[in-house]
Structure 1
């Protein structure tokens, strides 16, 4: 069997940007630290706690709660999950999945069976053991096999899993229908491991947060704050550094920044390029610090619903694509800080394509609008669904303005983030401003585009995309695997299923007395944790001086 650290091709992160701006600007190395440094840190842990309680500004509330098998979580929700729960694996600063709560994740020669070995002596917040039976219950719950818990989406995410068997108290075997090279990548992110007590009751599951993570739920006031306190029995000795964190959901990015500048917040997440620009100016004056990254970044785009008019017609899709000038919008809305997108895979992914699929062409867009209206007898018009964040609405307004010049009518409807996700899930949209597809191995995108997936929000029904996703999942040759995913990227370009805008630039702004933003070394020589990948920062090392 092969160790997790050598499994399958992983994307290089060397071309990503990771910049810290303080009183004096300096760059961080994008590579992980040496194994000697990790070993030294592990042998000499500092005392846990004593780092104060931090006020952390999030971009949205997770109104559906944290019953993880059924939760619909964006970046803000996953940030809370990172504090309360541990995942079996995590992504390090090199973009590689490494063990976290698991001691190791090891495949057989065919990649059809994986042995998950757990760490001894780890307990959930309620004192029960994190053992093979508990982890099996979690995976079964995500797969929809726990009668006490609903799981609407994850059964498809884990559809390749045919069986989960307990081998002994600290080992379990996961069997797969077909070889899956990147299976460890599916054990991180949203898949936090919950205590059996949380997974015993659907009614209380969303609010009864019980993990094994560095912090324990203290109080949650929906749409106001969620407070966690230090886990005194955390299995990583000397962690966490902070005594607690209070998460505040503040959907207006400008309001969030105002509270940071006013000292009400100790740190805040944002993907608002305007806020990032302002924070950089403040950092030059020594008033704040800010760290930014677009490594492993999600792509921001206009997601089109292929199941309904007008976007079940390729002529309409191409007309809207050519009418939009993403470069101009990026300059106006993002001050040009973001990198324009050529497809779903970011520049540090091996599946990335450098060539833009098409460029702004108003004259051709007008001709396509006329052709669409002649052939269908219908006016080319659609509704743009956006969140209530004023900056997102402003982006939608620019889209509307540009489309109007080509003769396309656009109406804008804004809802809160949780409602937007629910409406996308239900297919209740024509076009929606969206952000997705970052993180690690391309196989993790399978669920978003496969024709039978319940979270194929765009309702794409393309046998060629299905074929490429299936082949990429099981191909063991790294070069062939990259070629498959590049072909997938080209298929998106030719069919115009989505209108790619730019790769998300994430930032964390924080007060000068906040430390540990970059996290602490991962256990067992796993390297440094990823920072701001998908907007998430590690919380175990956070503290206030």
Structure 2
């Protein structure tokens, strides 16, 4: 196995991921490099690939109003471009923008756009359209009803057109990580004006500047994207990207079905997340049936998301008891075959703020857990009913049963409810849950976690009310010194370990598997960024589809 090249994630790296625990994901024998690429020769133009995703995005892609997990983000980055993008060092560089430059104290940012870029409907990319997009995301554009980003971009004070291709953004407080927010894990794509103003079909009549454009979408069956003949980025052969004529995205919830589809040749490419699937794919790779690429670069963490706003999890004794009652190492062995690394907090390895020992309980202690529960019940009465919510799938079902049994061992009764991925997001937003399996917080600039943890933020899904975390979040947002910021976020990590606001399980590794004739998704075959810098190596929020090609053409 060729491992992913590892680099420390710098302070301005960012990826927002609102994504759910479909399975703890991890390593295996999958090759990160692509030894067949050199033998295949130069990229071939034309052809189609069928690409299996782990879930459907039922609400569609009206991005200011969309709720996107990894599958939805992958489709979005195929249709839309973002103003910035992460490079191979995790720095955020101009992408659809030509430049993004701050004033001295990072309270004013000037965005200069590329000239000559057009949307799929032929309309030009202008400063006015970009201003309207940014206003739509932050809830200041009448035609759109923003959701997540009205809070994420709350630090923006004004957005002004200052030239035909220039937009100036002022912020309420210094915002050193602003370029990262212009990417937001691929979710802050620029929509054409016609889509922005569409009152009825913004979710399904998609108009971007990306390498592919929507041809058709049959919900829960297939999303067909075809080549954008006027794409602005030039490939090494002198013609514009992309290489493929067509991508057919299809939702396949069960990982085993994705593996079977790859083995049978019905699928050409798939995202994979379960350890048992990794093992099967390793064997298929040994037989030359598939190729695999793994990455834990800028990883997410999987965790049990606790609703701390209502009993019994508003009491730290019950949160701690639950943490002490779960043997995380055994859970990793049973569910993940021991392939993945245990998480210690909201920051995965390589991320700013990561600590090997954050103070979160590293070993189970059933007797102490029982004592805490008995103490709680003596004061508050019997524990109320607790429901654990999980998405569909074999592995998520196994995790739910394991946790149910672990809870029973310390005297806690848990009921299991299976809900679809988009419904789980809805429940997290509304607070209609007790505890749920979740996957979130891709590595990068920790300021991205501001809205997830700030008291009273509508997207603080754990309903955390912690003045100490609030203080650290505010300090970290505007602190220009990298070492000082690191210390701030390490302190925040320790606070999470002390208060048990979440129960951490594992860091995440994603695997992309393909038919042998598919290329363009490994680190050494991904397209360079427009400024010539190396491509980003992470897979937690998808990867560029414009460089995909197949020898079958």
TM-score normalised by structure 1 residue count: 0.91
Cα displacement (A) at 1:209: 0.8
Cα distance in 1 between the residues matched to 2:454 and 2:140: 22
Report the CA distance between 1:18 and its aligned residue.
Answer: 11
Shift in CA distance, 250/12, structure 1 to aligned 2, threshold 3 Å: closer
Q: Is the 8 A contact 1:507 1:535 kept in 2?
A: no
**1:264 positional shift:** 0.7
Q: What is the deviation of 1:526?
A: 2.7
> Which of 335, 339, 342 in structure 1 is aligned with 2:341?
339
Deviation at 1:403, TM superposition (A): 1.2
Q: How does 1:507-522 map to 2 (within 5 A)?
A: 507-518=511-522, 519-522=526-529
Deviation larger for 506-515 or 96-105? 96-105
1:523 is matched with 530
Write the distance in 2 (CA, Å) between the matches of 1:21 and 1:117: 44
Indicate the RMSD between aligned Cα atoms, in angstroms: 2.0
Q: Which residue of 1 aligns with 2:19?
A: none
Q: Secondary structure at the match of 2:250?
A: strand
1:285-315 deviation digits (Å, cap 9, x = unpaired): 2111110111111110000001111101111
Q: Does 1:466 align with 2:470?
A: yes
Give 1:132's aligned residue: 127
Residue in structure 2 matching 1:536, options 514, 533, 542: 542
8 Å CA contact retained: 1:506, 1:535: no
Q: Which residue of 2 aligns with 1:433?
A: 437
Aligned to 1:198: 195
Q: 2:295 aligns with which of 293, 296, 310?
A: 293
Deviation at 1:538, TM superposition (A): 1.6
Distance 1:255 1:19, change over 3 A: closer
Asked if residue 217 in structure 1 is aligned to residue 219 in structure 2, the reply is no
2:164, 2:444 → 1: CA distance? Answer: 30
Alignment-derived partner of residue 400 in structure 2: 396
Change (3 A) 1:115 1:18: farther
**Is 2:479 the counterpart of 1:475?**
yes
Match of 1:80 in 2: 75
- 1:243 maps to what in 2? 245
1:19 CA drift (Å): 8.1
CA contact (8 A) 2:11 2:352 kept: no
**Mean CA deviation greater in 65-74 or 522-531:** 522-531
Q: Distance in 1 between matches of 2:175 and 2:54?
A: 34
Contact 2:100-2:112 at 8 Å conserved across structures: yes
Superposed, which structure 2 residues align to 1:13-162 within 5 Å? 50-162=45-157
Greater shift in the superposed pair: 87-96 or 155-164: 87-96
Question: 67-76 vs 361-370, which deviates more?
Answer: 361-370
Structure 1 residues 539 and 306, CA, compared in 2 at 3 Å: closer, same or farther? same
- The offset of 1:179, in angstroms, is 0.3
5 Å-filtered alignment, 1:304-315, equals 304-315=306-317
Report the secondary structure of 1:204's partner residue: coil
Tell me, yes or no, if structure 1 residue 455 matches structure 2 residue 459. yes
CA–CA distance in structure 2, aligned partners of residues 338 and 285 of structure 1 = 24
In the alignment, the residues of structure 1 paired with residue 117 and residue 28 of structure 2 have an alpha-carbon distance, to the nearest angstrom, of 34
Contact 1:369 1:380 (8 Å CA) reproduced = no
Which secondary structure state, in structure 1, belongs to the residue aligned with residue 367 of structure 2? Answer: helix
SS in 2 for 1:538: coil
Q: Deviations over 1:336-364 (max 9, x none)?
A: 11110000101011210011521211111
- Secondary structure, in 3 states, of the residue corresponding to 1:398? helix
Q: Does the 8 Å contact 1:18/1:295 carry over to 2?
A: no
Equivalent residue for 2:318, pick from 316, 319, 329: 316
Task: State the shift of 1:98 in Å.
Answer: 1.4
Structure-1 residue corresponding to 2:166 = 171
Q: Name the CA distance, whole Å, in 2 between partners of 1:443 and 1:241.
A: 36
Residues in 1 aligned to 2:169 and 2:530: alpha-carbon distance in whole angstroms: 23
Q: Deviations over 1:232-283 (max 9, x none)?
A: 0000023111111000011111112111111111000122222122212211
**SS of structure 1 residue aligned to 2:310:** coil
- Contact 1:84 / 1:215 at 8 angstroms: preserved in 2? yes
Contact between 2:407 and 2:414, CA under 8 Å: does it hold in 1?
yes
Using a 3 Å threshold, how does the CA distance of structure 1 residues 18 and 182 change in structure 2: closer, same or farther? farther
Provide the residue aligned with 1:276 in structure 2: 278
1:193-221 deviations in Å (ceiling 9; x for gaps)? 10010010232111111100000000000
Q: Residue 22 of structure 2 corresponds to which residue in structure 1?
A: none
Contact 2:299 2:538 in 1 (8 A): no
What is the rounded CA distance, in whole Å, between the counterparts of 1:403 and 1:21 in structure 2? 34
Question: Equivalents in 2 of 1:415, 1:350: separation in Å?
Answer: 33
2:338 equivalent to 1:349: no
**Alpha carbons 2:115, 2:165 under 8 Å: kept:** yes
Distance 1:76 1:439 in 2: 18
**What is the alpha-carbon distance in structure 2 between the residues aligned to residue 202 and residue 342 of structure 1?**
45
In structure 1, what is the Cα distance between the partners aligned to 2:138 and 2:14? 31
Match of 2:451, SS? Answer: helix
The higher-RCO structure (CA 8 Å, 6+ apart) is 2
- In 2, distance between residues paired with 1:166 and 1:184? 18
Query: CA deviation digits over 1:106-165, x for unaligned, max 9?
Result: 101100000111111000000111111110010000011111111022111101100111
SS at match of 1:69: helix
Displacement of 1:380 in angstroms is 6.0
SS at structure 1 position matched to 2:308: coil
The answer to whether the 8 Å contact 1:279/1:290 transfers is yes
* Aligned partner (choices 189, 193, 205) of residue 208 of structure 1: 205
| Secondary structure class of the residue paired with 2:396 | helix
Count of aligned residue pairs for this structure pair = 515
Worse overlay, 295-304 or 378-387: 378-387
